[in-house]
Amino acid sequence: MKENWEILQNRIPLEEAVERIYEAVKPLAETECDLEEADGTILSENCQAQYDQPPFPRSPLDGYALRGEETKGASREHPVVFPVVDQLCAGDRSHICVNPGQAVRIMTGAMIPEGANAVIRQEDTDLGEKQVSIWEEVKPYGNYCFQGEDYHAGDILVKEGTRLDYISIGILASGGKKRVKVRKIPRISLITTGNELIDPGEPMSCGKIYNTNQYLIRSRLREWGISCRAIQTADDAASVERAILSELEQSDGVITTGGVSVGEKDILNEVLPRISDRILFGGLEVKPGSPSKCAIVNGKPLLALSGNPFAAAAVLELLGRPMVSALMGSRWLECKRQTAEMEKDFLKKSPQRRFLRGFYENGSVYIPEGHSSGQIRSFAGCNCMIDIPKGSEALKKGEKVNVWML
């Protein structure tokens, strides 16, 4: 308890906070599901191909299967004529061998019969049914898809740790995979605190504000494919404690907003030492969101964010992404980072590390007007945050900065 209280009093660098989250938050249990239910999950096994793909030599187009060398010199003036001895559609299997001087009518996706080594496009023929006139040459193995040219039996189709999207699911389906082992998608509870909060749609009254954070954070979690249950609780320690413990019984982690600073009504400093298995950190060496905290409660992560909307949104990107990624056993959700040139001057000094909202395009980054942690409107249209180091002087147009893509 004393150790937890001491940790609450100290602020740590952002990168250290991220690594503490990854070290302390354990991945959710593995489960097995049908491929059609696997969208957005993290694969927890290497999936190998059971068969070659394609599993047989196949035609990529409608035409005639034959021996390519026998079309040499073919032209409209001097066509090469072949008897048509069979017709194959996709799904059919030929029971004959194509002998010299013969052709088989074939459709896209059909198995190329034994003895044939090329397919001539139907556009280069007279479309004959009993015999066909060939007007163009086709070289041996022209228009010929080899067995296993996509992948071979035993090849790894999708690696463990991959977040399954439409492409990877399509690849697994092509290999005949019906069920996959994955990490469960986290269920997150969002608890907003504050007696001043009212729901959108309610009449505005003196001293009240609409509950921006509940809608903002829940929507962002859903964009990441995360199930989110949101509740609001009274602004006192007993209510917040009850809400956290109750939500942890039905969720894999909790995010709170409000109650993280040092004022009389900021009550996470009181609650966390009492209920936590371990407090990971009690603050960050960044702005906005410096009073943000993280703890393990009943074996599950709790991330406590500021009540200021932009501060909550910024730290959700900086630390909420790692928390969700850790629960899923993969760092797939972490922000991508790159450098950019300032589009215009930013004249404020930064005594401590600071993140500003911005818009990145073609190697340049633009900072909109309005930087207060309580302002949210100027975040509209932004696609990155600008990472300004501690002790920075004013930033000049053309100066290189680091940006975290959202």
For the chain, percent of residues with pLDDT exceeding 90? 84
pLDDT per residue as tens digits for the range 159-174? 999 999 999 999 999 9
**Is 303 a residue whose pLDDT tops 90?**
yes
**Is 375 a residue whose pLDDT tops 90?**
no
pLDDT per residue as tens digits for the range 138-155? 999 999 999 999 999 999
Quote the pLDDT of residue 263. Answer: 59
> Spelled out in words, what is the top-level CATH class assigned to the domain 2-29+185-328?
alpha beta
Domain 63-134 has CATH 2.170.190.11: yes
**Is 249 a residue whose pLDDT tops 80?**
yes
Quote the pLDDT of residue 135. Answer: 97
Architecture of domain 337-405: Beta Barrel (2.40)
User: Average model confidence (pLDDT) for the chain?
Assistant: 93
User: What is the average per-residue pLDDT within 388-397?
Assistant: 93
pLDDT per residue as tens digits for the range 86-102? 999 999 988 889 999 99
pLDDT per residue as tens digits for the range 11-51? 999 999 999 999 999 999 999 999 999 999 999 999 999 99
Quote the pLDDT of residue 292. Answer: 95
The CATH superfamily of 32-53+149-183 is: Molybdopterin biosynthesis moea protein, domain 2 (3.90.105.10)
Q: What is the 3-state secondary structure (H, E, C) of the chain?
A: CHHHHHHHCCCECHHHHHHHHHHHCCCCCEEEEEHHHCCCCEECCCEECCCCECCCCECCCCEEEECHHHHCCCCCCCCEEEEEEEEECCCCCCCCCCCCCCEEEECCCCECCCCCCEEEEHHHECCCCCEEEECCCCCCCCCCECCCCCECCCCEEECCCCECCHHHHHHHHHCCCCEEEEECCCEEEEEEECCCEECCCCCCCCCCEECHHHHHHHHHHHHCCCEEEEEEECCCHHHHHHHHHHHHCCCCEEEEECCCCCCCCCCHHHHHHHHCCEEEECCECCECCCCCEEEEECCEEEEEECCCHHHHHHHHHHHHHHHHHHHHCCCCCCCCEEEEEECCCECCCECCCEEEEEEEECCEEECCCCCCCCCCHHHCCCCEEEEECCCECCECCCCEEEEEEC
Single pTM value for the model: 0.85
**Is 2 a residue whose pLDDT tops 60?**
no
**Is 5 a residue whose pLDDT tops 70?**
no
Low-confidence winner among 123-137, 224-238, 251-265, 273-287 (lowest mean pLDDT): 251-265
Quote the pLDDT of residue 260. Answer: 75
**What is the band of 327 on the pLDDT scale with cuts at 50, 70, 90?**
very high
> Per-domain residue ranges for the chain?
2-29+185-328, 32-53+149-183, 63-134, 337-405
**Is 256 a residue whose pLDDT tops 90?**
yes
**Is 373 a residue whose pLDDT tops 90?**
no
**Is 108 a residue whose pLDDT tops 60?**
yes
